[in-house]
Amino acid sequence: MIHAVVGAQYGDEGKGKMVDYFAVQADMVIRYQGGGNAGHTIVNEHGKFALHLVPSGIFNPNTVCVVGTGVVVHPMNLVKELKSLQDGGIDTGNLVISNRAHIVLPLHIWQDQYEEASRSKKVGTTLQGIGPAYQDKAGRFGLQIGEMKDLEHFRSRLLSTYEAKLKRMPGIREFGGSFDDMWNELTAAREVLLPYIQDTLPLIRQAVEAGKHVLLEGQLGVMRDLDWGVYPFVTSSSPISGGTSAGAGIPPTAIKRVTGITKAYTTAVGEGPFPTKLEDEMGKFLQEHGHEYGATTGRPRATGWLDIPTLRYGAWLNGYTELAMMKLDVLSGLSEVSICTHYDLNGQSYDLPLPAYELEQAQPVYETLAGWTEDISGCRKFDDLPEAAKEFVQKIEELVGVPIRYISVGPERNQTISRE
């Protein structure tokens, strides 16, 4: 069974928890796109971990964890992440890194800072070099991580990349450092990472052909997709389920199950349109009760009501076979809860798709439902939920047309209602 777990909103939906939940039964977990700029927070019997690049199956020693070809890897940060897992008692021997994954070089971080500083309208990048690394990949300047193996080859490629980049973009110099510093950092990381780097395709193909349970883990969500998101406030890769095929190396016809992960409300980090954003007390309530601060950056996330057009749009683009609704517990204590059913733009009713510059102007149209006051974090069955919470879930299923098969009522793995 090939099973993709994708973000149904703007990222940070809680994919990490659900991948950890599904990974208990998975033989392989593959990260198929993105870099270490977003983070999954996992709370399980080993403790609390912030994962940035390592797939969430790492806690299960029998699960092969693949940093896939579509991912961009910052070697030094990956070394730190491995160390923090090892310090927490986790054996990372089940990790493999695709030799075709691209390297995020210090150069890319300098470039990210330079480019964001020179934009009049900020994209809201995390300044970790992810976008520039993808630019270089598409521009055919990039370095694949497998190129680290041959030290002489690596040095010569790195040197020519460094010289070419400074020539093309002299402005990055003010954010940058020396070649030697970059070289020293990368070669230190290389020592740690070499044993993990391999051609992952034979391994993946073997798993797929043997009918193993393979989980595909994405970063961010549909609204940050390079093609279909709120361009230009998007990431430089494809979080949608179609991206799994290219990024992991799996035929699209093999993907049989797609779980879209959504919160019971909406959050977003960075710039760009967010029609249901609340800047009042209600927004603060969601931010505080949901602990909505970025796992990697610590930036407070903007919060708002659930946006159904986003879920419907994602249902088409991703082909959700089911949804998982996260953080339903955060809405407890409200007398009323709202959901945005569609938008109004110049007196006309709209759904997605809308380009970002039009979505900026769109006004959300809400339907208000009864809230509930009970603490639901101990509920383990759908029937344990208060009537109003059940009606909230059922209303969303009806509006989106996709079953909500999982409901999460707390950060821990067992705080999950399965309706299978």
Active site residues: 12, 40
Nearest CB to ligand GDP, comparing residues 37 and 341? 37
Candidates 155-163, 170-178, 233-241, 321-329: pick the segment binding ligand GDP (CB under 6 A): 321-329
Q: At closest approach, how far in Å is the CB of 15 from ligand GDP?
A: 4
Using the minimum distance from each CB to ligand GDP, give the nearer residue, 53 or 172: 53
Q: By CB under 6 A, tell whether 334 contacts ligand GDP.
A: no
Closest to 36 (Cα-Cα) out of 67, 6, 77, 66: 77
The answer to whether 38 contacts ligand GDP (rule: CB under 6 A) is yes
Shortest separation between residue 323's beta carbon and ligand GDP, angstroms: 13
Kindly state whether residue 43 participates in binding ligand GDP, applying the rule CB under 6 A.
yes
Smallest separation (angstroms) from ligand GDP to the CB of 24 = 16
In terms of CB distance, is 106 or 410 closer to ligand GDP? 410
Residue by residue, what is the 3-state secondary structure of the chain?
Answer: CEEEEEECCCCCCCHHHHHHHHHCCCCEEEECCECCCCCEEEEECCEEEEECCCCHHHHCCCCEEEECCCEEECHHHHHHHHHHHHHCCCCCCCEEEECCCEECCHHHHHHHHHHHHHCCCCCCCCCCCHHHHHHHHHCCCCCEHHHHCCHHHHHHHHHHHHHHHHHHCHHHHHHCCCHHHHHHHHHHHHHHHHHHEECCHHHHHHHHHCCCCEEEEEEEEHHHCCCCCCCCCCCCCCCCHHHHHHHHHCCHHHEEEEEEEEECCEEECCCCCCCCECCCHHHHHHHHHCCCECCCCCCECEEECEEHHHHHHHHHHHCCCEEEEECHHHHCCCCEEEEEEEEEECCEEECCCCCHHHHCCCEEEEEEEECCCCCCCCCCCHHHCCHHHHHHHHHHHHHHCCCEEEEECCCCCCCEEECC
Does residue 34 interact with ligand GDP by CB under 6 A?
no
Does position 17 interact with ligand GDP (CB under 6 A)? The reply is yes
Which residues between 52 and 71 bind ligand GDP (CB under 6 A)? Answer: none
Q: How many residues bind ligand GDP (CB under 6 A)?
A: 20
Touching ligand GDP, residues 79-98 (CB under 6 A): none
Site for ligand GDP in 384-413 (CB under 6 A): 408-411
Query: Minimal distance in Å, beta carbon 322 to ligand GDP?
Result: 16
CB of 141 to ligand GDP, least distance (A): 29
Work out whether 31 is an interface residue with ligand GDP (CB under 6 A): no
One of 3, 31, 40, 342 touching ligand GDP (CB under 6 A): 40
Which residues inside 292-311 make contact with ligand GDP, applying CB under 6 A?
295
Site for ligand GDP in 114-173 (CB under 6 A): none
Residues 239-298 that bind ligand GDP (CB under 6 A): 295
249 vs 290, which CB is nearer to ligand GDP? 290
- Closer to ligand GDP at the Cβ: 31 or 40? 40
CB–CB of 27/214 below 8 Å? yes
Q: Residue with CB nearest ligand GDP?
A: 16
Alpha-carbon distance of 331 to 395, in angstroms, equals 15
Place of tokens 């950890």: 20
Question: Is residue 187 within the footprint of ligand GDP (CB under 6 A)?
Answer: no
Q: Which of 52, 100, 312, 327 binds ligand GDP (CB under 6 A)?
A: 327
The footprint of ligand GDP (CB under 6 A) covers: 12-17, 38-41, 43, 295, 326-327, 329-330, 408-411
